Amino acid sequence: MTIVDEPRTATPSTPDGAPDRPRSVRSRLPGSDRVFRGVARAAGTAVLVIMLLVGLFLTLQAFPAVRQAGWGFLTRQDWDTEGNNFGVAGVLIGTVLIALVAITIALPLAVGAALYISEYAPRRLAPFLVNLVDLMAAVPSVVYGIWGFFLLQPHLLVVGNQGEGLPRWLTTYLGWIPIFAVDDYDPRDPEASASRLTSSTFIAGIVVAMMVTPIIASVMREVFAQAPAGEREGAYALGATRWGMIRAVVLPFGRGGMIGATMLGLGRALGETIGVVLIISIGFVIQPHILQNGGGSISALIASRYQESTDMGIAALMGAGLVLFAMTLVVNLVAGVIINRSRSGAQS
Amino acid sequence: MSTTTIPERPVDAGEEPRRATGGARRTDVFAALGAAWAALSLTALLFTRLTPFDGVLGFAVVAFLVFVAIYAMLVSLDERAPTVRDRLAAVFVHALALLMLVALVVVVVFTIYRGLDALGHRNFYTQDMRDAGPLQPLSVGGIRHAVLGTLQQIAIALAFTVPLGVTAAVFLAELPGRFSRFVRMIVEAMTALPSVVAGLFVYSSVIILLNRAKDDLPGWLRWLAVGKSGFAAALAISVMMLPIVIRAADVVIRLVPGTLREASLALGASQWRTVWHVVLPTARSGLMTAVILGTARGIGETSPVLLTSGITAYTNANPFREPQVSLPLFVYNSVTRPDAGMIARGFGAAAVLMLLVLLLFAAARIVGGRPAGQLSRGQRRRRAGRSYRDAVRFAARAKARHEEVSS
């Protein structure tokens, strides 16, 4: 014999009328909410339209120049918009070289500063230093530019008629490496003019490095500060020194954030304008020698040539701007993906 | 079978003193100081007597390398390899941080030092450059027009970006969905827009295209065709600032705890009331920070202004007509001149610009220094005072009611 539990849920009987049915919990939006949602959605749409308009406009305006030049726009090394002979190859390579020099200098500085603030600095001092780094990121780029032009170049890097300083030392002793070579310049010749060493990619790169270091350092510091305390204490409990703990916990934890921060800095370095314009003497030929006078960047090209009156000149600049934008966009998107995927960057 | 023995503590051991585990021992300090002194002496000897080296930069680099070598040797005398590595890493981290600090101090001090010549003259703040040719002394001419231009342009840019940016950020954070995800993606992409490209966009659209089509435009659009002017510069700054402000504000609004929102909705508030009375006040300090940092960025950016505002030596209070110069542009324009007077004025203007950014930054820190819900001491005191007065009021009312009942 089996015992079956009979269902005993009794539906309360209504005295009269229809039985109860589940009520819909969706309520109609009050009027104020409908207005609010409408306004918010309109603002979002407006922003979207503005942003798409900028992108679309740049593309449309650049179109005549790009059609005129074809693939040569990416490979030619000249900027003669009247004679239909123009291309961004030289300035494109110049942009990348300046950004690479900047990142090479900025990365160790930023890692050092971020590690110092998050791991070494006294507790009292740390908030002050955080503010200092953020402030450094807010200093206008033109200030860094005039610093580079009036102090760094003439008084620290290329001093006097002989051009004494780091670039000369590099080309004298490391000149056999192609990028450190300088054409028509013999460092052992006392008559050699220092002007071959000024206004170079290297010096522009240092100025840009000054601008991007605080940006990178600030993101990295946030990432390092998020390293879990439990794992830090675990490392210490196993007998690690402070550096051992940093290598075993903080750096692996922050790796994604570090890569992302570096790429954010790279994106800024690619688009930096005024610092580069003040330092570099712009040329349109590929200049692989970073210590030598000349070089260029797309942003410097735009800033120095925008007054060209011909339509083709403007269209060509638009094309160059589009190439630059595409480059920074890719770098930033990759940075965002890396930061989001990493363990450390998920919260930020 | 093993037994666990519990160590016995002698009865008269007394309070065990707490030991400090961190901090430097005396030998560490001696090692560092000794190494520093030895490195300085050795490098000085190298540079003055033994080798033909010279140069400040070279001296610093050689001295540092010698210091690292001697310090490593000293530490390795009485420590093991992991500790030596730890000390060396500490030296490098400290050196890099110091280098960055020195760089910042040098940038700030150098700008102010070179600007002192111009900053000392009162006319520098009260005149514009109309009477000051390149060879005029610093007692003539000033940056009034540039300061005015900067303030007007940033005000116009803020009037565009703050309402639009904050509303858009509210949309992104409060009305999630496929559309807002798409908008967020586009906004994040646009933060990559180089500022010079933003300037080029306004230059070719507003200044060239609209001016060419000026006569065909309907009357209500004609005001947009302004030519090179402060308004065009403000537009360029807005295009550059908008994504930055939206992104920062979006992050801040998303940080507002969901429980607050749910509590408000559970009390029967509509979404609009929740946003207006709960979300935005909670995020207020963060929003202020986002706006102020965006402003600092926009105020110092030179390249969009260079392309769009034009250059003038006159004070122009009307941003819609005629060129209008701003501080960063004035700096750039002055320091690229060959004459010393203009360069000094450029440095003076750069110092003023830096001061302006510093003020904005300090304002951001004062307003937005604390995360939502954490109060400053003054706020806590005022809140306690209000609560106390409420309590007194309630007590008085209760007493009055009691007397009313008993009488």
Cβ-defined contact of B54 to A164 (cutoff 8 Å): yes
pLDDT at A246: 94
Domain co-membership, B271 together with B157: yes
User: In this model, does residue B72 exceed pLDDT 90?
Assistant: yes
The Cα–Cα gap between B28 and B26 comes to: 5
Which residue range is the domain that position B316 belongs to? 144-372
A308 vs B: CB within 8 A: no
Asked whether residue B69 falls in the same domain as residue B159, the answer is no
**Residue range B120-159, pLDDT digits in tens:** 888 888 888 887 776 777 778 788 888 899 999 999 999 9
CATH number at residue B358: 1.10.3720.10
Residues in chain A with CB shorter than 8 Å from the CB of B195 are 271, 273
Beta bridge partners of B84: none
By residue count, chain B amounts to 407
Residue B380 in any domain: the answer is: no
Instruction: Indicate whether B198 and B324 sit together in one domain.
Output: yes
The verdict on A118 touching B (C-beta cutoff 8 Å) is: no
Whether B18 is covered by a domain: the verdict is no
* B285: amino acid identity, one letter: S
For B217-226, how does the pLDDT look when each residue is reduced to its tens digit (9 = 90+)?
A: 776 666 677 7
In whole angstroms, how far apart are CA A295 and each of A82, A172, A201, A239, B93? Answer: 22, 20, 6, 52, 33
**B10 within a domain of the structure (yes/no):** no
Q: What pLDDT, in 10s, does the model give residues B194-225?
A: 888 899 888 888 888 877 777 777 766 666 77
pLDDT reading at B168 higher than 90: yes
Residue, of B100 and A79, whose pLDDT is higher:
B100
Q: Which helix (H) or strand (E) holds A261?
A: helix A255-271
- Given 3.90.340.10, 3.40.50.720, 1.10.10.10, 1.10.3720.10, which CATH number is that of A73-158+198-341? 1.10.3720.10
Which residue in chain B is spatially nearest to A333 when comparing CA positions? B189
Q: Give the count of alpha carbons within 13 A of A327, CB side only.
A: 25
Which of A43, A116, A133 minimises the CB distance to B164? A43
CA dihedral B372, A136, A255, B172 (to 10 degrees): 40
Residues of A in contact with B208 (CB under 8 A): 314
- The CA distance from A331 to the nearest CA of chain B, in Å, is 9
Q: Is A243 on the interface with B (CB under 8 A)?
A: yes
Q: Do A321 and B197 touch (CB under 8 A)?
A: yes
Same domain, B256 and B162: yes
Listed in order, strand segments (DSSP E) in A55-138 are 79-80, 85-86
Cα gap B235→B161, rounded to integer Å? 10
DSSP SS3 for A86: strand
pLDDT (tens digit per residue) in B225-277? 777 888 999 999 999 999 989 988 988 888 888 899 999 999 988 889 999 98
Residue A258's CB is within 10 A of a number of other CB atoms, namely: 25
Q: Please tell me whether residues B98 and B211 are part of one structural domain.
A: no
Q: Are residues B154 and B111 in the same domain?
A: no
Residue whose C-alpha is closest to residue A304's, from A282, A288, A330:
A282
pLDDT band at A230 (very low <50, low <70, confident <90, very high): very high
Is the same domain home to B244 and B172? Answer: yes
Instruction: Give the distance from residue B64's alpha carbon to the nearest chain A alpha carbon, in angstroms.
Output: 16
Global pTM reads 0.83
Q: Which residues in chain B touch residue A109, judged by CB atoms under 8 angstroms apart?
A: 96, 99-100
CA angle, corner B144, sides to B141 and B146, nearest 5?
A: 105
To the nearest whole percent, how much of chain B has pLDDT over 70? 94
pLDDT band at B22 (very low <50, low <70, confident <90, very high): low
Same domain? B349 vs B229? yes
Q: Does A174 touch chain B (CB under 8 A)?
A: no
Rounded percentage of chain B residues whose pLDDT exceeds 90: 29
Within this chain, do residues B218 and B102 fall inside the same structural domain, yes or no? Answer: no
**A298 to chain B, minimum CA–CA distance in Å?**
10
Is residue B396 situated within a structural domain?
A: no
- What are the backbone angles phi and psi of residue A80, rounded to the nearest 5°? -110, 90
Q: Which residues of A touch B94 (CB under 8 A)?
A: 116, 120
Q: Does A156 touch chain B (CB under 8 A)?
A: yes
How many domains does chain B contain in total? 2
Best interface-test mutation with A: which of B185, B193, B370 has the largest number of A CBs within 10 A? B193
Q: What is the per-residue pLDDT for A13? A: 62
Q: Which of residues 21-80 of A touch B (CB under 8 A)?
A: 29-30, 32-33, 35-37, 39-41, 43-48, 50-52, 54-55, 57-58, 61
Short-list A105, A44, A81, A36, CA closest to A265: A105
Same domain flag for B109 and B248: no
Q: Is position B357 within any domain?
A: yes
Does some domain include residue B195? yes
Residue B91: predicted pLDDT: 93
Residue A321 has its nearest CB partner, among B108, B200, B299, at B200
Determine contact: A296 vs chain B, CB below 8 A.
Answer: no
Residues from chain B contacting residue A46 (CB–CB below 8 Å): 164, 168
Question: Within an 8 Å CB–CB cutoff, is residue B102 touching chain A?
Answer: no
Q: Is A228 on the interface with B (CB under 8 A)?
A: no
- Which residues in chain B are closer than 8 Å to A115, comparing Cβ atoms? 93, 97
Q: Closest partner residue to B196 among A54, A273, A331, by Cβ? A: A273
In chain B, residues with a C-beta closer than 8 Å to the C-beta of A121 are 97
CA B163, CA B157: separation in Å to the nearest integer? 11
Residue indicated by tokens 């190439």: A323
Do the chains contact at A112 and B96, CB–CB below 8 Å?
yes
Give the end of a domain, one of B86, B119, B152: B119
B203 and B83 in one domain?
no
Q: Which residue has the tokens 């034009």?
A: B310
In chain A, DSSP finds a helix count (H) and a strand count (E) of: 14, 2
ipTM for the predicted complex comes to 0.82
CA angle A60/A64/A65 to nearest 5° reads 110
